[in-house]
């Protein structure tokens, strides 16, 4: 029996005029197979992923969550989660690029009025925009200052996903004077926008980097809405943006865990097809190897089960819409946090210990198994598992609602 992802719980059908879930999963698996053929070589080269973005664009995945009537794929979040996870198994950096794009391209629908969101999504679909940016708070926030009928954006965002290849940026800024955090859309070709490579040791093809805004003009309609976490500002349904964004990170981590185990297993099978008394490194008869694969499989499948529960909870919250309560949102958020913690542990353990069971051969740059470990560590550093355990414990013991956290 192979280590395949656990099936997702039943979800509602896609928009009847859209291609449907089965189509998008087929597209995702075809793209993942295509990316797998040279994943190690591309990661080693570290070139900007313009070719990979072209593949995403040609596949239709850049419009995945945009309603079909606006020219998009008409898919729902359960489908988007499955797509990101399928691609993460072979190329987690491109999966992060796609996941960030999905979240940011959808964010207008979450943070602004329906008419403006529809206009943004329709243009995004028509022009096949790739979105980059992020809404996580920065140590020194971007500042949005009123100027005439519009605004001026200033400051530096130390890290934002996908910005090196983006057609549009969605970032967090605070209004000068009030300090209210808001979501802002920026054209990266505008004068005053400067983007630099993040130069990370992992997720190298996710096109992340820093962005500097030097008196960049922003039109009033490009200020989407408030990101304040206060109960009287952000409704429970809008606050679902936090668990949705964090579930994308969970898909990346699960894909990494499943992907490295699958590659290590195939290498072990191909390299050691017969039993040997000496049990060389990675032998499929070595009791240590068998026990390690068993333990990592249990860790990964357990994380996948928690993720399925969290996805079902998020989907239920989206269905409830404006009827969702703050307490219900807190319960959904905690379920996502538990999935985060489990997926983080599964990814870190699997990407590290899979190298042990392959043995000294895993040090070969040609195999590229190290990219899984580097990608997992880079991803988990943004939200340490200790913080996740603390939030779950505080909710269990004190009933404290988890913090409103948006992705970087």
Lowest mean pLDDT among 50-64, 87-101, 266-280, 291-305: 266-280
Residue 337 pLDDT greater than 80, yes or no: yes
8/349: higher pLDDT: 349
Can you give the pLDDT at residue 369?
92
Residue 11 lies in a domain: no
Q: Does 293 lie in the same domain as 263?
A: yes
Q: Does 306 lie in the same domain as 347?
A: yes
Q: Does 368 lie in the same domain as 273?
A: yes
Q: Tens digits of per-residue pLDDT, 182-226? A: 999 999 999 999 999 988 899 999 999 999 999 999 999 999 999
Instruction: Determine the straight-line distance between the first and last CA of the chain, rounded to whole angstroms.
Output: 37
Q: Does 375 lie in the same domain as 271?
A: yes
252/407: higher pLDDT: 252
Residue 408 lies in a domain: no
Q: Does 318 lie in the same domain as 271?
A: yes
Find the CATH number of the domain harbouring 388.
1.20.140.10
CA 341 to CA 388: how far, in whole Å?
6
Find the CATH number of the domain harbouring 175.
2.40.110.10
Q: Does 382 lie in the same domain as 280?
A: yes
Can you give the pLDDT at residue 288?
85
Residues ≥6 apart with Cβ < 8 Å to 107: 135, 170, 183, 224, 241
Query: 3-state DSSP call for residue 306?
Result: helix
Q: Per-residue confidence at 139, pLDDT binned at 50, 70, 90?
A: confident
- Burial call 106-142: b when 16+ CB within 10 Å, e when fewer: bbbbbbbeeebbbebbbebbeebbbbbbbbbebeebb
Residue 16 lies in a domain: no
Residue 231 lies in a domain: no
List the structure tokens of 84: 């990101």
Q: Does 382 lie in the same domain as 253?
A: yes
**187, 202, 226 — which closes off a domain?**
226
List the structure tokens of 352: 């590290």
Q: Tens digits of per-residue pLDDT, 102-117? A: 999 999 999 999 999 9
Can you give the pLDDT at residue 362?
83
CA 27 to CA 23: how far, in whole Å?
6
Residue 11 pLDDT greater than 50, yes or no: no
Q: Tens digits of per-residue pLDDT, 216-252? A: 999 999 999 999 877 566 889 999 999 999 999 999 9
Split into its structural domains, the chain has a count of 3
**163, 191, 226 — which closes off a domain?**
226
Which long-range contacts does 392-395 make (Cβ < 8 Å, 24+ apart)? 392/334, 392/337, 392/338, 392/341, 395/330, 395/334
Q: Does 276 lie in the same domain as 151?
A: no
Range of the structural domain that residue 59 is part of = 21-130
Can you give the pLDDT at residue 284?
62
Of 133, 127, 73, 129, nearest to 103 by C-alpha is 133
**226, 250, 277 — which closes off a domain?**
226
CA 145 to CA 223: how far, in whole Å?
11
- Rounded to an integer, the average pLDDT of 59-77 is 97
- Rounded to an integer, the average pLDDT of 68-91 is 97
């Amino acid at each position: 029996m192979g280590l395949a992802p656990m099936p997702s719980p039943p979800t509602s059908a896609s928009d009847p005029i859209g291609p449907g879930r089965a189509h998008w999963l087929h597209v995702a698996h075809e793209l993942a197979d295509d990316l797998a053929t040279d994943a190690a070589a591309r990661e080693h080269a570290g070139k900007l992923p313009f070719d990979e973005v072209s593949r995403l664009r040609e596949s239709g995945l850049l419009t995945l969550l945009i309603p079909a009537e606006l020219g998009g794929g008409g898919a729902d979040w359960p489908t988007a989660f499955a797509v990101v996870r399928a691609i993460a198994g072979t190329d987690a950096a491109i999966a992060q690029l796609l996941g960030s794009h999905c979240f940011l391209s959808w964010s207008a629908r979450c943070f602004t009025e329906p008419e403006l969101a529809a206009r943004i999504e329709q243009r995004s679909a028509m022009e096949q925009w790739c979105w980059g940016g992020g809404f996580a708070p920065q140590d020194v926030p971007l500042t949005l200052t009123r100027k005439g009928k519009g605004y001026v954006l200033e400051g530096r965002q130390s890290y934002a996903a996908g910005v090196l290849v983006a057609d549009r940026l969605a970032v967090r800024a605070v209004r000068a004077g009030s300090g209210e955090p808001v979501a802002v859309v920026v054209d990266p070709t505008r004068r005053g926008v400067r983007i630099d490579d993040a130069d990370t040791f992992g997720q190298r093809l996710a096109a992340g980097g820093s962005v500097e805004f030097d008196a960049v003009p922003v039109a009033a309609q490009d200020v989407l809405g408030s990101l304040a976490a206060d109960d009287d500002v952000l409704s429970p349904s809008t606050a679902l943006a936090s668990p949705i964004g964090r579930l994308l990170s969970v898909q990346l981590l699960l894909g990494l865990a499943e992907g490295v185990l699958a590659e290590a297993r195939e290498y072990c099978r191909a390299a050691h097809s017969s039993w040997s008394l000496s049990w060389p490194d990675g032998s499929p008869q070595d009791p240590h190897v068998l026990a390690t694969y068993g333990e990592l499989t249990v860790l990964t499948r357990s994380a996948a089960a928690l993720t399925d529960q969290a996805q079902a909870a998020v989907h239920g919250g989206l269905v409830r819409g404006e009827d969702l309560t703050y307490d219900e949102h807190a319960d959904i958020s905690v379920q996502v946090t538990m999935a985060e913690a489990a997926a983080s542990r599964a990814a870190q353990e699997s990407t590290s210990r899979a190298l042990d069971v392959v043995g000294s051969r895993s040090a070969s740059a040609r195999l590229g198994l190290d990219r899984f470990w580097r990608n997992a560590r880079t991803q988990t550093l943004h939200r340490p598992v200790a913080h996740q355990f603390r939030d779950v414990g505080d909710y269990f013991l004190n009933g404290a609602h988890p913090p409103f956290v948006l992705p970087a």
